[in-house]
Structure 1
């Protein structure tokens, strides 16, 4: 675990912790498409 992590505090508290937001947007893509997007961003100065 990294230095300064809050995870041990949450674990010790023994309570549940919600890490998502009901209004969030999920993007599902294949590994290949994710790599393609990253490469495209690096070649276009981070302009998609």
Structure 2
């Protein structure tokens, strides 16, 4: 049980970091096209937007 919770948390953390990296690689224009600014990236990742 404990191990599954830890693994699940690590997987979620890894997915969030990957998403943040991918969004960070976009240009400001591309971010604007999807309704984000560079400053919105961390909030969007946290909220799963």
Q: TM-score if structure 1 supplies the norm length?
A: 0.35
Higher relative contact order (CA 8 A, sep 6+): 2
Q: Which has the higher helix share?
A: 2
Normalization by structure 2: what TM-score? 0.35
